């Protein structure tokens, strides 16, 4: 195993993040450091992979809490291997597919009634007269129903 001798500045520069982000990731339990004789943080080179996984996952909408849970599932909280990354990404794929479907539905219905109850659009009386959808649920009911249908269709195709 590589020696922990990378400084905070070296890791931050190599990863393209602020030093404060490194400290934050460490406080959140996402990365680990050790201390040298001068009480300065030192990192093993494999921390670069953990930070890269964090950045990639965040870029596609995975929360830090979800990332932490995924890291905790690794034996001895080790740095993800290529195989680990493939498993983590498969686990996140369903969630991301759902988010993508929701965003596509939102994009496709943004200019029309989404069943939110505002009744401010000319199409609302057609799709949601007198806010009848309030009895069905809260929020953008039509948008949520479209997402549920898309998720059901996706599930049927996978079966």
Name the nearest CA neighbour of 58 among 28, 32, 101.
Answer: 28
Tokens of 119: 């009744």
pTM, rounded to two decimals: 0.65
Asked if 118 and 124 touch (Cβ cutoff 8 Å), the reply is yes
- Average the pLDDT over 133-144 and give the result: 86
3-state secondary structure of 121: coil
Name the nearest CA neighbour of 101 among 155, 150, 42.
Answer: 150
pLDDT in the model for residue 113: 80
CA–CA separation, 46 and 80 (whole Å): 9
Tokens of 51: 């930070």
CA–CA separation, 74 and 84 (whole Å): 8
pLDDT in the model for residue 155: 62
Which residue in this structure is represented by tokens 């269709």?
153
- Which tens digit of pLDDT belongs to each residue from 20-67? 999 999 999 999 999 999 999 999 998 998 999 899 889 888 899 999
pLDDT in the model for residue 2: 64
* pLDDT band, residue 7 (cuts 50/70/90): very high
Name the nearest CA neighbour of 133 among 125, 98, 104, 147.
Answer: 125
- DSSP secondary structure string, 64-95? HHHHHHHHHTSGGGPPP-HHHHHHHHHHHHHH
pLDDT surpasses 60 at 114: yes
Domains delineated in the chain: 1-80 (1.10.1660.10), 93-159 (no CATH)
């Amino acid at each position: 195993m590589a020696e922990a001798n990378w400084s905070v500045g070296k890791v931050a520069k190599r990863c393209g993040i602020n030093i404060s982000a490194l400290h934050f990731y460490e406080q959140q339990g996402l990365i680990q450091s050790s201390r040298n004789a001068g009480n300065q943080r030192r990192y093993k080179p494999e921390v670069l992979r953990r930070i890269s996984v964090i950045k990639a996952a965040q870029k596609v909408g995975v929360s830090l809490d979800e990332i932490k849970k995924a890291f905790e599932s690794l034996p001895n909280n080790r740095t993800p291997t290529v195989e680990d990354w493939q498993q983590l990404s498969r686990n996140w794929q369903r969630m991301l597919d759902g988010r993508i479907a929701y965003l596509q539905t939102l994009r496709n219905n943004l200019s029309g009634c989404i069943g939110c109850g505002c009744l401010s659009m000319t199409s609302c009386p057609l799709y949601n007269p007198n806010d009848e959808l309030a009895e069905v649920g809260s929020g953008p009911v039509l948008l949520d129903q479209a997402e549920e249908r898309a998720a059901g269709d996706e599930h049927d195709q996978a079966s």
